[in-house]
Structure 1
Amino acid sequence: MTRPAARPLLWLACLLAVYLCAPFLASIPQIGQADWTHVDWRATWSAVAVSAGSASVASLAILIGGVPLGYWLARSDSRGMALLGFVVQLPLALPPLTSGVLLLFLLGPYSWLGQLTNGALTDSFAGIVLAETFVAAPFLIVAARSAFASVDPVYDDVAATLGHRAASRFFRVMLPIAWPSIRAGLVLAWLRAFGEFGATVMVAYHPYSLPVYTYVVFGGQGLPAMMPLLLPTLAIAVLCAALSVAWRGGRGNLFNAADNGDTADSLASEPARPALPNPRLAIALRRQLGAFDLDIEWMPSTRRLAIIGPSGSGKSLALKLIAGLERNEMGFVRFGGAQLDALPPERRHIGYMPQDYGLFPHMTLARQLSFPVDADPSSARYWIEHLGLSALTARLPHQLSFGQRQRVALARALSRHSQLLLFDEPFSALDTPRRRRLQQALRALQREISAVTVIVTHDPDEAALLADEVLVIEHGRVLQSGTVDQVFGQPASLQVAALLGLHNVGEGTMREHGVVDTASGLSIATANRSIPAGERVMWRVSPSSIAISAHGAQSGAVDAVELRHGDPYVVLNVGGMRFDVAGDGALAPVSEPASVRFDIDPRGVSVWVDRARAVRCDSVSSASSSAA
């Protein structure tokens, strides 16, 4: 049933469809008026052969040159390529006779090329091919450019990290993905060449092509004698339409996904793999893209790593620089004793898993895992079995659920025996239960393999689960790095605390007897007496160490009661500062702020020196002294 909102569109579509079908219907009553007795079938079939042959040769030439041209027009942003893209479309806007006149300037008997070939390029089969190529090529070039422009660059990136060079990536990945649209453009180019009249009649009147022969018969004998010549043209049109429908019917439904199989099986020990002696990653990354400038350094000492930051902070760019997919302008990427900077991505021997997994849409699961240049069949079989993919090997990506795609991409990266694995927000597209299960599966996998894993994420919980060391970045700069315990336990600034989703964190000044004076005027006692008075500090209060009671020493207002992971938390407002307090499960929702009193257990208060704030103050003091 058609929705009311779509009916105007349906009527417009029907109106145009009726108009396009009307000429064919109008020709049916005229069939009886055709002059069948005087048809020169030998000349007719000769003209059909000339048109079909010249259109096929022209289409082959257009395919050979037009696909690479469309690819570079889609990939290049230079002004020269933009101008070239404009010029190659001009034949679409020119009247066919005008195209023929322009071709005479190049191919005619008085042009330098015509004199060089002794006039062989006009009034010949070659002249027909050249004329048809000129007018029909834009159909394929435009289709190829649009097709390549719509192919996600992540496929090329993934193929590079799987060891394939540029030519292999083009013929085995980019071209197959773009081929359905290119094929449609090729059919249009062939039909345009087959039916070309204006340019052909100017360049090569002889031998007769079917359009030219039809024109000659019409001019000499009239409409009845010309009508039988429509049969070959209609037959070819019907054949092309049938092929188009058949090709369309054979396409898979891109939105058809499986609905099960997202629970990862338990992982057994991985087959033996060649390992570097205690490999470690060290990076210094410099890259400027427009107004964005990335400048980070990191030399972690463990194997399970995470880069965390908000959207637009440069996390994915950092991962691409490590993989060699973007140019590192002034820095280095070292892994173990190997310097990766001078190596292209196909020679860095890494496993790379982008955000949307980068599964090639034209390859089955089995082909995905055999695609890496150094694919190990035994390793591929192992990961297929242990990631629960054995029943899915013949499926295409669009036939898999999100969780299954994630495991296929993971198996593909692991089947290379890479010692460096890069994961770009691998679980961002999954719902929470499924994400948690697969995170646990990946954590178990990390314990089984010796590879260094780098996880890019904006989820602090994910970073804490999957990493031993984290790098916190924002706006392309490092805010803090260190072990998970250090960074989460003692964030370097309120900015870091906010990015990590930490609550009950603030700045203050240490007073004698272990009391911290906060900016809001609240004084918080701590059991830590090791920091001298006057030191600038950061502090954090455990939600479970705050007790609401009628006789509490501090006062505040209850703003809300929130559920987190099913547990209630009371949100207190104390002098403009927010405190989260662990609830007891019997709290009712709050409709308006209510005054309460509370106590803070000093044993639940962490205090550490605010070195970042001290550095900022020293910088300001130095600048003021210099100005003075």
Structure 2
Amino acid sequence: MTRLTARPLLWLACLLAVYLCAPFVASIPQIDHADWAGVDWRGTWSAVGVSAGSASVAALAILIGGVPLGYWLARSRARGMALLGFIVQLPLALPPLTSGILLLFLLGPYSWLGRLTNGALTDSFTGIVLAETFVAAPFLVVAARSAFAAIDPVYDDVAATLGHRAASRFFRVMLPIAWPSIRAGLVLAWLRAFGEFGATVMVAYHPYSLPVYTYVVFGGQGLPAMMPLLLPTLVIAVLCAALSVAWRGGPARRFEIAENGDATDEPAGETARPALPDPRLAFALKRHLGAFDLDIEWRPSTRRLAIIGPSGSGKSLALKLIAGLECNEAGFVRSGDRQLDALPPEQRHVGYVPQDYGLFPHMTVARQLSFPVDADAASARYWVKHLGLSALTARLPRQLSFGQRQRVALARALSRHSQLLLFDEPFSALDTPRRRRLQQALRALQREISAVTVLVTHDPDEAALLADEVLVIERGRVLQAGTVDHVFRQPASLQVAALLGLHNVGVGTIRAPGMIETVSGLSIEIADRSIPVGEEVMWRVAPSSIRIARDGAYTGAIDSVELRHGDLFAVASIGTMRFDIACDGEPAYRVERGPARFAIDTRGVSAWLSGVCVTQQEHTSPVSSHV
């Protein structure tokens, strides 16, 4: 099927390719019929010089103004910029003669500008340059706009957190990344300027450019005189095509992408990293974006923090507000005794590690580590050795494995002695084994450094491993905050329990000392008899505290048997509620689906006062989501 589908496409491609090549092939026999004796070589080379010189000046002017224009057209969301972008592209659609007429309205001898310059802008080398700039500029502007629009904004964000101001970020990050496309646009603009006829003949008939001279010779001597004039153009076109192919190929890669470079080397023992202050982070963040409002506040007391929430809850936005990459409309951000609110991102001295690590594609590892404005060379050397990067310093990001990229991003942030490290789901794109290895490596690093680390994640296991305190948010609001142990043991609501992936959680009322009655009418005994009768509580039954027993007090049915992380679980219905049951040591064939009786060990049942009112509809489906 694929071959049948591809064959018509190949035929169409070949048909167009043959047509594009045919004129060049047809010109070869005409070499013998060319009027070589009647060629005015002096006039020919003069015209070639005029065209090459004017095209080069026009291309330089287009480059100087077109790159910034393309950048602002790509970055600005103003309606005026959209209109400007449309007008800039109009010369591509206009007939060249029409472009020349429009230029005469502006530059002609009877225009106010023409009278001001005494006609110097027409029938002159300057006029040729102005005409070529008008018709050729869109090629570079469109290429630059497309190149800048394709750049991930995370590079600009990371460069800002590394201390670079806007101008430095443009020239050292954005422009080098966009340069291959801009370079191609520049070549097209130069070729378009070199071959421009219509606008040039209207604005500056003299001195002759090569296209105008070709037109004049053709009118006087006919087709036999054309081959000598075509040769310089063909030579220039061949050279430009060769350069384009060479640039597209780029330098050969010196390394293959590593697949086994994720394991962090053992820490080097010779050098001890200087101790840093022991800051604490506190923030209140408010941001309105369309229909979304973020309004959260947190004053944790430890250094290892995590923000948990579903997609679209505002986790990444919160991280950017802390880093100063987005505007905090109200509230505060403090790191220790430093007030960060009024500081731009380049002055906040934070280390920001986005999802794909934000390594600049045009910089080697060595340049990445020296890029921060206040990078400490001694610290960079320490982390290069400590994180096993010594053999990688000459590599580009594309030549690194995911684990190596993460370590480079960490080393780059740590080379500034940053007191605040922000991680935006750094493991989300990795497979499970690699993710676990890198999580363990980051956990070991957290124990060594004194910086506050804030991890944004939707993975509860990851938060429990890498944080001491967690903030659970949804739709821009705080659902619960506290230590990992407290939040996971006593979620404030079913909503929090669902986000944490907790099993066997529900709500109910204490009807008698040590007895919970769930909203579905199921009675569950608890060992704690201190909670007063009549109180509404949340409860949780540990999966290991439920067992399948013939003499069990609860009747129900086993609905399915599942294997999670190598452990066997049965999913059972007891009354109208669903429970997960840990089947430790039981082979799968021994756990049969169908009616069964169950016993619950009261020592595995916990209850706590509910701080959130939950509707009757929410009560009917206790959490049984899986992490």
Classify the TM-score, shorter chain.
Answer: over 0.9
Determine helix, strand or coil for the equivalent of 1:613.
Answer: coil
Distance of 2:274 and 2:349 partners within structure 1: 14
In 2, are the aligned partners of 1:323 and 1:352 still within 8 Å (CA)?
A: yes
Q: Does 1:169 align with 2:169?
A: yes
- Counterpart position of 1:275: 276
- Counterpart position of 2:526: 526
**Greater CA drift, 216-225 or 137-146:** 216-225
Q: Residues 169-205 of structure 1, C-alpha deviation per residue, up to 9 Å, x if partnerless?
A: 0000000000000000000000000000000000000
Q: How far apart are residue 254 of structure 1 and its match? A: 13
Cα 1:590–1:108 change in 2 (3 A) is: farther
Determine helix, strand or coil for the equivalent of 1:450.
Answer: coil
- Counterpart position of 2:602: 602
Correspondence 1:108-147 to 2 at 5 A = 108-147=108-147
Q: How far apart are residue 248 of structure 1 and its match? A: 1.4
State the AA in 1 paired with 2:147. Answer: A
Say how many residue pairs are matched. 614
Cα 1:145–1:333 change in 2 (3 A) is: same
Cα 1:591–1:279 change in 2 (3 A) is: closer
Distance of 2:252 and 2:412 partners within structure 1: 23
Q: How far apart are residue 574 of structure 1 and its match? A: 1.2
Determine helix, strand or coil for the equivalent of 1:120.
Answer: coil
In 2, are the aligned partners of 1:561 and 1:590 still within 8 Å (CA)?
A: no
Q: How far apart are residue 404 of structure 1 and its match? A: 1.1
Q: Does 1:479 align with 2:518?
A: no
Cα 1:105–1:175 change in 2 (3 A) is: same
Distance of 1:253 and 1:76 partners within structure 2: 35
State the AA in 2 paired with 1:459. Answer: D
Cα 1:411–1:6 change in 2 (3 A) is: farther
Distance of 2:348 and 2:168 partners within structure 1: 17
Q: Residues 72-97 of structure 1, C-alpha deviation per residue, up to 9 Å, x if partnerless?
A: 00001111000000001110111000
Q: Does 1:59 align with 2:49?
A: no
Distance of 2:9 and 2:450 partners within structure 1: 59
- Counterpart position of 2:82: 82
Q: How far apart are residue 589 of structure 1 and its match? A: 5.4
Q: Residues 407-454 of structure 1, C-alpha deviation per residue, up to 9 Å, x if partnerless?
A: 111111111100000000011111111111111111111110100000
Q: How far apart are residue 613 of structure 1 and its match? A: 2.1
Distance of 1:8 and 1:428 partners within structure 2: 41
Cα 1:75–1:252 change in 2 (3 A) is: farther
Determine helix, strand or coil for the equivalent of 2:361.
Answer: coil
Distance of 2:591 and 2:28 partners within structure 1: 78
**Greater CA drift, 68-77 or 569-578:** 569-578
- Counterpart position of 1:509: 509
Q: How far apart are residue 9 of structure 1 and its match? A: 2.2
- Counterpart position of 2:577: 577
Q: Which runs of 5+ in 1 are unaligned?
A: 618-628
Distance of 2:129 and 2:246 partners within structure 1: 29
- Counterpart position of 1:348: 348
- Counterpart position of 1:261: 261
Determine helix, strand or coil for the equivalent of 2:608.
Answer: strand
TM-score normalised by L of structure 1: 0.95
Cα 1:271–1:66 change in 2 (3 A) is: farther
Distance of 2:78 and 2:306 partners within structure 1: 36
Correspondence 1:311-460 to 2 at 5 A = 311-460=311-460
**Greater CA drift, 47-56 or 337-346:** 337-346
**Greater CA drift, 202-211 or 257-266:** 257-266
Determine helix, strand or coil for the equivalent of 1:88.
Answer: helix
Q: Which runs of 5+ in 2 are unaligned?
A: 617-627
Distance of 1:87 and 1:360 partners within structure 2: 33
- Counterpart position of 1:210: 210
In 1, are the aligned partners of 2:303 and 2:451 still within 8 Å (CA)?
A: yes
Q: Residues 33-72 of structure 1, C-alpha deviation per residue, up to 9 Å, x if partnerless?
A: 1100011111110000000000000000000000000000
In 1, are the aligned partners of 2:273 and 2:379 still within 8 Å (CA)?
A: no
Distance of 1:576 and 1:296 partners within structure 2: 36
TM-score normalised by L of structure 2: 0.95
Q: Residues 78-136 of structure 1, C-alpha deviation per residue, up to 9 Å, x if partnerless?
A: 11000000001110111000100100011011111111111100010000000000000
In 2, are the aligned partners of 1:305 and 1:466 still within 8 Å (CA)?
A: yes
In 1, are the aligned partners of 2:419 and 2:450 still within 8 Å (CA)?
A: yes
Q: Residues 197-237 of structure 1, C-alpha deviation per residue, up to 9 Å, x if partnerless?
A: 00000000000000000000111111112221001000000
Correspondence 1:218-257 to 2 at 5 A = 218-250=218-250, 257=257
Distance of 1:364 and 1:83 partners within structure 2: 39
Distance of 1:254 and 1:306 partners within structure 2: 39
Cα 1:80–1:589 change in 2 (3 A) is: farther
Cα 1:18–1:255 change in 2 (3 A) is: farther
Distance of 2:562 and 2:268 partners within structure 1: 41
Determine helix, strand or coil for the equivalent of 1:265.
Answer: coil
Q: Residues 293-333 of structure 1, C-alpha deviation per residue, up to 9 Å, x if partnerless?
A: 11111010110000001111110000000000011111111
Determine helix, strand or coil for the equivalent of 2:235.
Answer: helix
Q: Residues 558-579 of structure 1, C-alpha deviation per residue, up to 9 Å, x if partnerless?
A: 0111111111111111122111
Correspondence 1:537-548 to 2 at 5 A = 537-548=537-548
Correspondence 1:266-305 to 2 at 5 A = 266-267=266-267, 271-273=272-274, 275-276=276-277, 278-305=278-305
Determine helix, strand or coil for the equivalent of 2:330.
Answer: coil
- Counterpart position of 1:620: none
Q: Residues 355-383 of structure 1, C-alpha deviation per residue, up to 9 Å, x if partnerless?
A: 11111000011111110001111111111
Q: How far apart are residue 601 of structure 1 and its match? A: 1.0
Cα 1:4–1:392 change in 2 (3 A) is: farther
- Counterpart position of 1:623: none
In 1, are the aligned partners of 2:513 and 2:530 still within 8 Å (CA)?
A: no
In 1, are the aligned partners of 2:569 and 2:580 still within 8 Å (CA)?
A: yes
State the AA in 2 paired with 1:119. Answer: G
In 2, are the aligned partners of 1:561 and 1:587 still within 8 Å (CA)?
A: no
In 2, are the aligned partners of 1:559 and 1:592 still within 8 Å (CA)?
A: no
- Counterpart position of 1:621: none
In 1, are the aligned partners of 2:513 and 2:532 still within 8 Å (CA)?
A: no
Distance of 1:159 and 1:273 partners within structure 2: 25
Determine helix, strand or coil for the equivalent of 1:482.
Answer: strand
**Greater CA drift, 221-230 or 91-100:** 221-230
Distance of 1:470 and 1:3 partners within structure 2: 54
Distance of 1:255 and 1:87 partners within structure 2: 45
In 1, are the aligned partners of 2:561 and 2:591 still within 8 Å (CA)?
A: no
Cα 1:145–1:255 change in 2 (3 A) is: farther
- Counterpart position of 1:155: 155
Q: Residues 146-187 of structure 1, C-alpha deviation per residue, up to 9 Å, x if partnerless?
A: 000000000000000000000000000000000000000000
Distance of 2:262 and 2:113 partners within structure 1: 66
- Counterpart position of 2:553: 553
In 2, are the aligned partners of 1:197 and 1:212 still within 8 Å (CA)?
A: yes
- Counterpart position of 1:622: none
